C-alpha cells in the first residue's frame, strides 16, 4: 500500500502493522481513534512541525485585573514573551525619550546616515533593559493561565496584552498536512 495520506488510511496502516488481517485485532473503532488522537497530541508536543509561532492578543477586563493573570486559549502550548506594557522611558506622551530624540535630531538625520540614530536607539533600549527590565511571565499550559509579574494597578480595562506563543496546528485548517506529516514521521521510523 502507498503511504497513508488521511486518517482512515492511517488507521488501516496501523492495524496492518499490528498484523491485520492475519491476526485478529480485537479493538473498538473508538480505541483506534483515541490512539491516533494521542499520537497527534504527542507529535504536537514534541515535534517542531506540530506547532507554529503566533501572536495572540487579549483585551483586559476587570476580571483579568482582579485575578492578576490572563486566561490563555486551549490551543496555546507555550508563551515565550509579551510585548512591553510600558515603562518610565517609553511612556506614550510628549516627554517620551525616543520622541524627544527624534524631534531634536530630525534635521540632522535627513542630512547624514542613520548609523548614529540607530546606535542611540540601541543605547536607549539597553538603558531601558538595565533600569526597568522586562516583565517576568509565568505560564502553565495545564491551567491555561499567563501570570505577568507586574503592578496590575498601572493597566486599565480595555488595554491589550500581546503575547508571543506557540500554538498547535489546527487539523481542520491544515487538514491532510497535520495527519500527513505525522504519518510520514511514523512510517519512516
**Model confidence over 4-30: pLDDT tens digits?**
777 888 888 889 988 999 999 899 999
What does the CA dihedral 36, 38, 42, 45 come to, rounded to 10 degrees? Answer: 120
- Extents of the domains making up the chain: 7-85+135-188, 97-131
How many percent of the chain have pLDDT more than 70? 76
Give the predicted TM-score (pTM) of the model: 0.62
- pLDDT tens-digit map of 174-183: 665 555 555 5
Q: Is the predicted pLDDT of residue 188 greater than 60, yes or no?
A: no
Grid coordinates given for 90: 517609553
CB 143 within 8 A of CB 102: no
Give alpha helix (H) positions in 19-94: 29-46, 62-67
DSSP 179: H
Number of H helices, E strands in the chain: 6, 6
- Whole-angstrom Cα distance, residue 134 to residue 83? 9
Amino acid at each position: 500500500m502507498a503511504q497513508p495520506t488521511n486518517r482512515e488510511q492511517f488507521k488501516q496502516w496501523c492495524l496492518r502493522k499490528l498484523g491485520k488481517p492475519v491476526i485478529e485485532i480485537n479493538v473498538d473503532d473508538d480505541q483506534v481513534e483515541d490512539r491516533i488522537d494521542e499520537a497527534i497530541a504527542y507529535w504536537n508536543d514534541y515535534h517542531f512541525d506540530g506547532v507554529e509561532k503566533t501572536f495572540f492578543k487579549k483585551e483586559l477586563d476587570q476580571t483579568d485585573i482582579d485575578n492578576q493573570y490572563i486566561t490563555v486559549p486551549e490551543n496555546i502550548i507555550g508563551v515565550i514573551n509579551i510585548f512591553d506594557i510600558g515603562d518610565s522611558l517609553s511612556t506614550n506622551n510628549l516627554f517620551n525619550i525616543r520622541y524627544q530624540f527624534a524631534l531634536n535630531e530630525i534635521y540632522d538625520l535627513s542630512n547624514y546616515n542613520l548609523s548614529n540614530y540607530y546606535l542611540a536607539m540601541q543605547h536607549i533600549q539597553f538603558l531601558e533593559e538595565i533600569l526597568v527590565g522586562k516583565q517576568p511571565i509565568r505560564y502553565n499550559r495545564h491551567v491555561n493561565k499567563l501570570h505577568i509579574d507586574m503592578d496590575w494597578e498601572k493597566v486599565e480595562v480595555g488595554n491589550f496584552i500581546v503575547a508571543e506563543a506557540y500554538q498547535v496546528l489546527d487539523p481542520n485548517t491544515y487538514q491532510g498536512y497535520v495527519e500527513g506529516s505525522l504519518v510520514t514521521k511514523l512510517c519512516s521510523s
